[in-house]
Structure 1
Amino acid sequence: MKNWMMGAIMLCSTAAFAQTATNVEGSKLQFTTIKNMDAYDVQNQGRTGTCWSFSGMSFLESELLRNGKGKDLNLSEMYVVRKMYPLKAVNYVRMHGKANFGEGGGFPDDILCLREYGLVPQTVYDGNRQKTYNHAEMETLLESMVKELGNSNGVINPTWKNAFDGVLNAYMGDAPAKFDYNGKSYTPQSFAKELGLNADDYVLITSFTHHPYNSQFVLEVPDNWNWEKVYNVDMNDFTNIAENALTNGYTIAWAADVSEKGFNFKEGLAVVPEKDWNDMSADEKKNAFLEPIQEKNITAEVRQKAFDNFETQDDHGMHIVGLVKDQNGKKYFRVKNSWGTENFGKGYFYASEPYFQYKTTSYMVNKKALPADIAKKLGIK
């Protein structure tokens, strides 16, 4: 997941977001909340491709809120980014440059960091943020280093890792090994343990026909650099797991494609019109974001074709915190983004159920949120 958007760094309470309308001038859409969960302030990833960390930390923050812990705690996204970069670099070099390297990543990275390196508060480590996050220059230097090493045919000096860390430290600062927080001393691992977060509680869900249902496979997207496995379910279970999670108070870390013309963050809506976008008139395109519309019927075949043709790619990570319905009873997911608050939804938007079914590559959820019959089929305890 690499998507980013430049914007002002502004914070916004979730309570400030109207949940009964899109807030778009002229909109006829009216939403009624089915379920809404707590989340902390909307953040801004700036000019970085680190949406996976922002959405992943937001997800874990909501897990803490659900458990009555972590009040007013903002977890450091850049701590996770700082810990993952060296691992991606080693993987890239070991694969002789035939693996993905860059700012992109996925929710498995967040869970890997939680399990192996712990977590820290934002106040302890902010990754040298100034006016906005911008990793362009740092990324250029890091990429040039690993490409040279990955293409090397000779003996590689192992001290390259020190040089790599030196660049990270220059731009982001070294990640803390110990820190004080609220009058107590911690390591990142002891801090995560005290929060009660367990990496084994989280599972990744997808739905594709090129692998057997009710089994696991390595999701074939470039940013799955550590080859994490996902659970593959049919379309009905795919949707039911998500709805069951939300109605029972669990949020969802959502990986999806946002390059569709039906995705309009500024207007606060993501839909899949039944009519092809190129065949729509100007008024039809405008009204797609202003009133309830007929959407495509998303089948397993439609979803698979979009993935196979690279029309659906793993290009953005977001955080689903609620479920609503419009005046016609159609369901939408309420989504927290990490592009700041300069949109009609103050950093949030609504994604229709067809959009979710069509454009999701995978999502992460607490395994306790799975319906019992589906968990049994998947062998999840």
Structure 2
Amino acid sequence: MKRFLLCALAFCTTLGAAAQTADTKSEPEGYRFTDGKVLDITPVKNQNRSGTCWCYSTMSFLEAEILRAGGAPVHLSEMWIVRHTFMEKAEKYVRMHGEINFAEGGAAHDVTEGIAKYGIVPFEAYPGFNYGTDKPDFSELTPVLKSFLDTVIKGRKLSTAWKRAFNALLDEYFGPMPETFVYEGKEYTPASFAASLPIRMDDYIDITSFTHHPFYTKFIIEIPDNWMWGEAYNLPLDEMMQVVDHALANGYPLAWGTDVSEKGFSRTKALGIIPEADLDGMSGTEAERWGKLTEREKEAALYKFDKPGKERTITQQMRQEAFDNYETTDDHGMVIVGTATDQIGNPYYKVLNSWDAMPPYGGYYYFSRPFVEYKTTDIMVNKRALPKAIAAKLGLK
């Protein structure tokens, strides 16, 4: 009996091992990343139910710049800038008779321009959630603001009350703005607190890469959320990427405007890729089988996100066509904070997002180099992070 039990046990163990091996083989390989150089940055934030990624990403970018410059960690108030920006958007919307975008979106330069004009406060001094939640929720706020402005512009002339009334709405939703506050035992004004930080807003520039304007000049990027009509320096694609790589190598983060409506972006996988069928790497049978697939079947195969593979080679023309055809849009803002590689050696950028510290990487995302080449609308960077030759071409010192 004992011998029988031992044999039975061995048989079951063998079956279990075989089953485990079979299950393992059937599981997708997935993506495994090895981080390269990753810069110091403050914790992941949560923009929650608000279209304020532009502010959250740029604030995190500036907080990282403060760390780089030797300053203490600080959480700057996003809603301080969002509230001021809503007032400026309202004035432009009214002056343009409603023929301009009034929405929650914006751009990185909204933040640097706002700090230069209005100063800044720490989050503790102005959380900006005066409507019963502890996270941003603009589901009521934005429709109320826009409805008010649409009523204002229906009149034959502007009343003397509309700005005061609009500001009262902002006070109710965001809270009254402090003229002074105490932070770590010291009293500040918004202007003096901004001046106390080891960074200066005029050090930051926007860079992009499109052919419908001359290279090495500045132009207004024609995207709806650029309500401020801010300008960006225009570089060829390879030089824009040189800026990204040179900045990271020298310890500078980048605020990144991009498009996450692509099929190659997976929110659940925290991954962005631009895959391409590796026909050269297929055997004759595999290539023949691939050729018989429908376009839908090919697309499903390419975007399985089951393991790394070949990606498209991005050209300047591809970037331009995607922008001209409205395939590249100003969807989202994040912060590029480092580099990484997958298990077959493909290069990636490690990116801080503002959708809370969620799995699988605690609020960080990985975007392939082709994705960044293809889908970057613009980047903000410290002008000192540019390679000297590129800075000279732009006339920057």
- The answer on 1:136 being equivalent to 2:139 is yes
Give the secondary structure class of the aligned counterpart of 1:123. Answer: helix
- The answer on 1:307 being equivalent to 2:323 is yes
- The answer on 1:372 being equivalent to 2:373 is no
Query: Aligned in 2, Cα 1:27/1:349: closer, same or farther, shift over 3 Å?
Result: farther
Identity, % of aligned positions: 46
Cross-structure match for 2:10? none
In 2, distance between residues paired with 1:52 and 1:278? 34
Give the secondary structure class of the aligned counterpart of 1:322. Answer: strand
Q: Is the 8 A contact 1:34 1:322 kept in 2?
A: yes
- After TM superposition, give the deviation of residue 40 of structure 1 in Å: 1.1
In 1, distance between residues paired with 2:28 and 2:172? 49
Q: In the TM superposition, what are the counterparts of 1:48-127 in structure 2 within 5 Å?
A: 48-71=50-73, 73-127=74-128
Q: In the TM superposition, what are the counterparts of 1:237-248 in structure 2 within 5 Å?
A: 237-248=239-250
Query: Aligned in 2, Cα 1:263/1:179: closer, same or farther, shift over 3 Å?
Result: same
Q: Is the 8 A contact 2:49 2:138 kept in 1?
A: yes
- After TM superposition, give the deviation of residue 346 of structure 1 in Å: 1.0
- After TM superposition, give the deviation of residue 132 of structure 1 in Å: 2.8
Query: Aligned in 2, Cα 1:194/1:75: closer, same or farther, shift over 3 Å?
Result: same
In 2, distance between residues paired with 1:277 and 1:164? 52
Deviation per CA, 1:227-247: give whole Å up to 9, x if none: 111000001101110011011
Cross-structure match for 1:228? 230
Query: Aligned in 2, Cα 1:281/1:195: closer, same or farther, shift over 3 Å?
Result: closer
- Structure 1 window deviating more from structure 2 (30-39 vs 264-273): it is 30-39
Cross-structure match for 1:280? 298
Q: In the TM superposition, what are the counterparts of 1:197-346 in structure 2 within 5 Å?
A: 197-275=199-277, 278-280=296-298, 282-286=300-304, 289-346=305-362
In 2, distance between residues paired with 1:270 and 1:310? 19
In 1, distance between residues paired with 2:274 and 2:154? 43
Query: Aligned in 2, Cα 1:375/1:282: closer, same or farther, shift over 3 Å?
Result: same
Give the secondary structure class of the aligned counterpart of 1:222. Answer: coil
Q: In the TM superposition, what are the counterparts of 1:345-364 in structure 2 within 5 Å?
A: 345-364=361-380
Q: Is the 8 A contact 2:129 2:135 kept in 1?
A: no
Q: Is the 8 A contact 2:312 2:370 kept in 1?
A: yes
- After TM superposition, give the deviation of residue 328 of structure 1 in Å: 3.4
- After TM superposition, give the deviation of residue 83 of structure 1 in Å: 1.1
Q: Is the 8 A contact 1:265 1:343 kept in 2?
A: no
Deviation per CA, 1:51-70: give whole Å up to 9, x if none: 11100100000001101102
Deviation per CA, 1:26-77: give whole Å up to 9, x if none: 5443333321101111111111001111001000000011011022x11111
In 2, distance between residues paired with 1:358 and 1:285? 17
Q: Is the 8 A contact 1:231 1:378 kept in 2?
A: yes
Cross-structure match for 1:20? none
Query: Aligned in 2, Cα 1:279/1:209: closer, same or farther, shift over 3 Å?
Result: farther
Query: Between Structure 1 and Structure 2, whose CA radius of gyration is higher?
Result: 2
Q: Is the 8 A contact 1:61 1:70 kept in 2?
A: no
- After TM superposition, give the deviation of residue 380 of structure 1 in Å: 1.1
RMSD: 1.6
Deviation per CA, 1:129-187: give whole Å up to 9, x if none: 624311121111110111223344x1211320111111111111022221111111101
Q: Is the 8 A contact 2:33 2:340 kept in 1?
A: yes
Give the secondary structure class of the aligned counterpart of 2:224. Answer: coil
Provide TM-score, normalisation by structure 1. 0.89
Please state which structure has a larger fraction of its residues in helix: 2
In 1, distance between residues paired with 2:144 and 2:32? 49
- Structure 1 window deviating more from structure 2 (292-301 vs 363-372): it is 292-301
- Where structure 1 has 5 or more consecutive residues not aligned to the other structure, the ranges are 1-24
- After TM superposition, give the deviation of residue 279 of structure 1 in Å: 4.5
**How many residues get paired?**
353
- After TM superposition, give the deviation of residue 281 of structure 1 in Å: 5.9
Cross-structure match for 1:147? 150
Query: Aligned in 2, Cα 1:252/1:131: closer, same or farther, shift over 3 Å?
Result: same
Give the secondary structure class of the aligned counterpart of 1:57. Answer: helix
The aligned amino acid for 2:70 is G
- Where structure 2 has 5 or more consecutive residues not aligned to the other structure, the ranges are 1-26, 278-293
- Structure 1 window deviating more from structure 2 (301-310 vs 139-148): it is 139-148
In 1, distance between residues paired with 2:59 and 2:308? 33
Cross-structure match for 1:9? none
In 1, distance between residues paired with 2:300 and 2:327? 23
In 1, distance between residues paired with 2:191 and 2:295? 49
Q: Is the 8 A contact 2:76 2:121 kept in 1?
A: yes
The aligned amino acid for 2:50 is T
In 1, distance between residues paired with 2:295 and 2:63? 37
The aligned amino acid for 1:352 is S
In 1, distance between residues paired with 2:258 and 2:124? 30
Query: Aligned in 2, Cα 1:283/1:309: closer, same or farther, shift over 3 Å?
Result: closer
Q: Is the 8 A contact 2:273 2:368 kept in 1?
A: yes
